[in-house]
Amino acid sequence: MTLPPKVTDRAFARLAEIAELTGEVRPLRVAVDGGGCSGFQYSIWLDDPAPDDLVLEKDGQRVLIDQISLPFLRNAIIDFTEELIGARFVVQNPNATSSCGCGTSFSI
């Protein structure tokens, strides 16, 4: 069964922290672009919604996914992690057959 991506509570909480720090509530866009060392790469940034975006929302925070990226992100989990190398939003993608060490590039 194909499901849309899931966003963790931790990712939504980080978006709320960013909004509090900046004084501006902006959605997080998660997109898939061609390129990277494994063929595709994730692009994650604060953006404004487009009319055809899938919008995942909780507690006033939103994550946007465009229709072109959506098939690449089916059943994926969008999370926020804090590690020694830094804090960042990450995508756990069951569709990826391999990924690079940095976790931003993958192949299907």
Place of tokens 């919008």: 55
What pLDDT is attached to residue 107? 46
What pLDDT is attached to residue 26? 95
Angle among Cα 65, 68, 69 to the nearest 5 degrees reads 50
Return the H-helix or E-strand segment holding 8: none
What pLDDT is attached to residue 37? 59
Per-residue pLDDT tens listing for the chain (108 residues): 568 899 999 999 999 999 999 999 999 999 988 765 557 788 999 999 999 999 999 999 999 999 999 998 999 999 999 988 788 898 888 877 655 444 454 445
What is the reported pTM?
0.83
Rounded CA-CA distance 80/36 in Å is: 21
For 6-107, CATH number? 2.60.300.12
What pLDDT is attached to residue 33? 83
47, 27 Cβ separation under 8 angstroms:
yes
Integer-rounded Cα radius of gyration of the chain: 13
16, 7 Cβ separation under 8 angstroms:
no
What pLDDT is attached to residue 2? 63
What pLDDT is attached to residue 63? 97
